[in-house]
Amino acid sequence: MAEKSYYDILGLSEKATDEEIKNTYRKLAKQYHPDLHPGDEEAAKKFKEINLAYETLSDPKKRQQYDAMRAGGGAFGGFGGGGFSAGGFDDLSSIFEMFMGGGGRRSSSRTAKGNDIKASVTLSFEEACKGVSKEIPVTRQESCIYCNGTGAKDGKEYTTCSSCKGSGQTRRVQQTIFGQTVSTGSCPTCNGTGRIIKE
């Protein structure tokens, strides 16, 4: 028999809003809380399932990963009641690294554009109250002026990698005892850049 999905555990549809997930979780957590059912193994098990389902579905990133794995035919069974065992995996990224070669993350050679720049500044109490102007040195990444960040002469001497079609990623689908898994990793031909440098 197939394991229940986290949506089934909470009695929700896959289109449930964050508010619906939160309200349903609160209601079920009160209903099955171990303090209200001392010594009841079934209630304790149900409470753990509810917490695990809520922990995944209430976090947008984990929910997206969970939905993607379910859509791809990935199996969540075999790790304890309803999914992952409580002590087995602290978060879904462990599973993706284990079964999907890093969960489809891009190679470190590509820098995400638009990341926030952070700086720490120490202020005295007086400065915080009255206000102060300070110069703060900030380190940030910029594209190379010679290759425009491509690594190729004049920013033009490259071709699109034919192995990954410029995505920098390769995918491999295989059957395992846990079901079908999709491994995603950096393209070995272009080292995850999506380009073959001519010069």
At residue 112, the pLDDT reads 56
- State pLDDT tens for residues 9-32: 899 988 889 999 999 998 998 888
- State pLDDT tens for residues 50-94: 988 899 898 888 888 888 888 776 544 433 334 443 334 444 444
Three-state DSSP class for residue 92: helix
Beta carbons of 195 and 109 less than 8 angstroms apart:
no
Q: How confident is the model at residue 105 (pLDDT cuts 50, 70, 90)?
A: very low
Lowest mean pLDDT across 34-38, 79-83, 100-104, 152-156: 79-83
Give the C-alpha distances (Å, rounded to integers) separating 152 from 108, 128, 164, 177, 189: 18, 48, 18, 44, 16
Note the pTM of the prediction, 2 decimals.
0.38
At residue 20, the pLDDT reads 92
Strands (E), the chain: 158-160, 169-176, 179-186, 195-197
% of the chain with per-residue pLDDT over 70: 77
**DSSP letters along 45-81, please?**
HHHHHHHHHHHHHTSHHHHHHHHHHHHTT---TTSST
Pairing of β 169-176 and β 158-160: unpaired
Top-confidence range, 12-16, 105-109, 172-176: 12-16
DSSP state of 182: E
Beta carbons of 3 and 77 less than 8 angstroms apart:
yes
Beta carbons of 22 and 16 less than 8 angstroms apart:
no
- State pLDDT tens for residues 117-146: 777 888 888 888 888 888 888 877 777 877
Q: Is the pLDDT of residue 195 over 60?
A: yes
